[in-house]
Structure 1
Amino acid sequence: MLRNRTKENVQVRTTRQRIMGALGYVIIFTFLYLPLFVKGGFAGRIIPNTAWLQLTGALLCIVGVGTCIWSRALLGSNWSGGVTAKKDHELVVKGPYRLVRHPIYTGFICALAGTCLVTGGLGAIVITSVYTLGLCMKINQEEVLLSDIFPGSYAAYQQHTRKLIPFIW
């Protein structure tokens, strides 16, 4: 598995951090897919179930997951699930990292949005919005960390590469 081939963390993640991360994914995927099994209420579908929305959602999800996989593969042993420095950390600026500084998050948000279009639930939309805000906070933490690790080069990278949305933000 890729996770086992990552560089050693400079600071180890706590058990609480790992549990909270796993719990977060359980909550996200529960709300994303609940509309497929429950009718009405907070989990019920509010987005129309049309063929073009389903196709758009499926394509967004495929592109998002593909972006996540490609970005993660390029990071290689520099990847970490949490905001942490690695021993001999390297700044990756190729592939999707040429367009955005955080393409794994871009891909994940894209996949979540696509899933929302497919399942159509209010809970899915709410959890996707909350998760996106949480990722924006995590991005800010990562930007500080990467600026500390790569003082000159990360500032230069920030000047010509968008944060999350290619050509926009």
Structure 2
Amino acid sequence: MPIVMSALFKIPLLLLTAYANFITFTSPNPRTPREEQSKYSSVKYIVQQVRPPWVRALEKTLTQSFIIFEVATIVARYLPSPIGETILPMLAWRSTDAASGVRLTSTFFAGTFLCLIGGIMRIFCYRALGRHFTFELSIRKNHKLVTDGPYSIVRHPSYTALIMVTIGTLLCLTGTGSWLAESGIMSTLVGRLLVVVWAAEVAWIPIVMVLRVGTEDEILQKEFKDEWLAWSRRTPYKLIPGIM
């Protein structure tokens, strides 16, 4: 019974991880017009846009699919024999006994914690910036410098949140006890290529975010001058209080 409950308790945590990913990688506002991105026109595309919308949509779809497969594997283990024995082979690339390896682990808990905190932070940032929050680097019409809420703690809290969610997602979905690690998909060439490309794309996001911080600070300083300088003195850290 404890083993059954342990695996079943993973389902709501997986759903929280899925929701955190959805919130983090879904823009709260439409794409900005090109003229509002003009002050960033000299910035490299990869820093300005991070990822084309179709890449973002594909990554989000793969992430949600991996979570669905893991939830389905856990549920199938406890369905009546005829049904479970029919579903499990569709979710396992080696023997169906591999499904028993999908379980709660300390790595998964750490990943879920990062996703949960990061997702909540991301929501607070969306609310604080309102219409000014865009996935593209841009200075919007009648733009104002937001310095309260999470932006009074660090200057780029939404990037901190995004980095937490991406790291948390990798821990949740690739660590020991995950569907990706236990199902046997990594034992196939196609599976390995798919997972490696997906993981590399997800891991690339925090790197670009760190590169983007300096560019955004530079443009905001030019745009808001003394107001930005006063804010930077009050809020000296960019991503992590007391560290950086």
The answer for unaligned runs of 5 or more in structure 2 is 1-26, 39-44, 70-90, 94-102, 176-194
Q: Which moved more, 1:106-115 or 1:28-37?
A: 28-37
Write the deviation string for residues 87-107 of structure 1: whole angstroms up to 9, x where unpaired. 111111111111111111111
Write the deviation string for residues 90-135 of structure 1: whole angstroms up to 9, x where unpaired. 1111111111111111111101111111112673653343211111
Report the structure number with the largest CA radius of gyration.
2
| Structure 2 partner of 1:138 | 212
**Any residues of structure 2 matched to 1:109-124 within 5 Å, and which?**
109-120=163-174, 123=196
Q: Secondary structure of 1:165's partner?
A: coil
**1:96, 1:103 within 8 Å by CA — same for their partners in 2?**
yes
The answer for unaligned runs of 5 or more in structure 1 is 41-48
Inter-partner Cα distance in structure 2 for 1:65 and 1:104:
9
Letter in 2 for 1:152: D
| Structure 2 partner of 1:147 | 221
- Residue 76, structure 1, aligned to residue 150, structure 2: no
**What RMSD, in angstroms, separates the aligned Cα atoms of the two structures?**
3.4
Kindly, what percent of the aligned residue pairs are identical?
Answer: 24
Greater relative CO (CA pairs within 8 A, separation 6+): 1
Letter in 2 for 1:139: V
The alpha-carbon deviation at position 35 of structure 1 amounts to 6.4
Inter-partner Cα distance in structure 2 for 1:52 and 1:69:
26
| Structure 2 partner of 1:44 | none
Write the deviation string for residues 6-33 of structure 1: whole angstroms up to 9, x where unpaired. 9x7682459x987x53134145446756
TM-score when normalising by structure 1: 0.74
Match of 1:105 among 159, 172, 186: 159
Write the deviation string for residues 122-158 of structure 1: whole angstroms up to 9, x where unpaired. 7365334321111122222211111111111212222
TM-score when normalising by structure 2: 0.54
